[in-house]
Each structure stands twice: as structure tokens, then as C-alpha cells.
Amino acid sequence: MSEHVMQLSDSTFDEQIGSASGAVVVDFWAEWCGPCKQIAPILDEIALENPGLTVAKLNIDDNFEVTRRYGVMSIPSLIVFKDGVEVDRIVGAKPKGALVESLSKYL
């Protein structure tokens, strides 16, 4: 796990998302998910290269409440929050260029 990526849980999610300045990208993932493992280093790079963007991860197997609240049915799912409100969603693994392009309006 990276020092540039925040770990979230059901108990910390609302506080962390609500108090973050700027956009927050939350990666809904699971340990057994191959595509999730593929994009993890990409998200780490994006977090490192874009200090104004907060990148966070939420393990769906350990955090049912938030996963259910946001209706996450496929992983990886990246949900972008601004001021604590969902503003965008990216479902599925994508190469770095495609992710950066999708997130560019929040960087």
C-alpha cells in the first residue's frame, strides 16, 4: 500500500470524504480482484503526480455499508467526490492515460 493513497473504512469514510479539500477519488476494490491489482500502481502514480487530488481505497469485502450505499456492483469502481458529493464514476480497469483523461477535470 502506498503512503500517497488514503485507506478508508465504513467508520472513517464520511469524515474523510467530507473533510477533504478538492476532489477525492475512491477506489472500491477487493484483494481477489485481478483488475483492481492492475490499477493500484497506476492510482499510486496519479496520487503522487497530482498532490491536489486525494486518492483513497475502500476494500469492499471489509466495508459493506459504504459499498452498498453507493451501489457498487462491479470492481474496480472509482467514484469521484467533491465536497462530499459523488460527481463522477469510472467502472473497470483502464490504462493510466485513460484514467488521467477521465480525471483531468478534477486535477
Whether 36 sits among the annotated catalytic residues: the reply is yes
Three-state SS at 31: coil
Grid coordinates representing 52 are: 491536489
* Interaxial angle between packed helices 34-49 and 96-103, expressed in degrees from 0 to 180 and rounded to the nearest 10: 60
Whether 58 sits among the annotated catalytic residues: the reply is no
Which is the catalytic residue, given 33, 72, 78, 90?
33
d(CA 106, CA 32): 29
Q: 76: cis peptide before it, omega within 30°?
A: yes
Which is the catalytic residue, given 23, 24, 26, 36?
36
d(CA 61, CA 49): 29
Active site residues: 33, 36
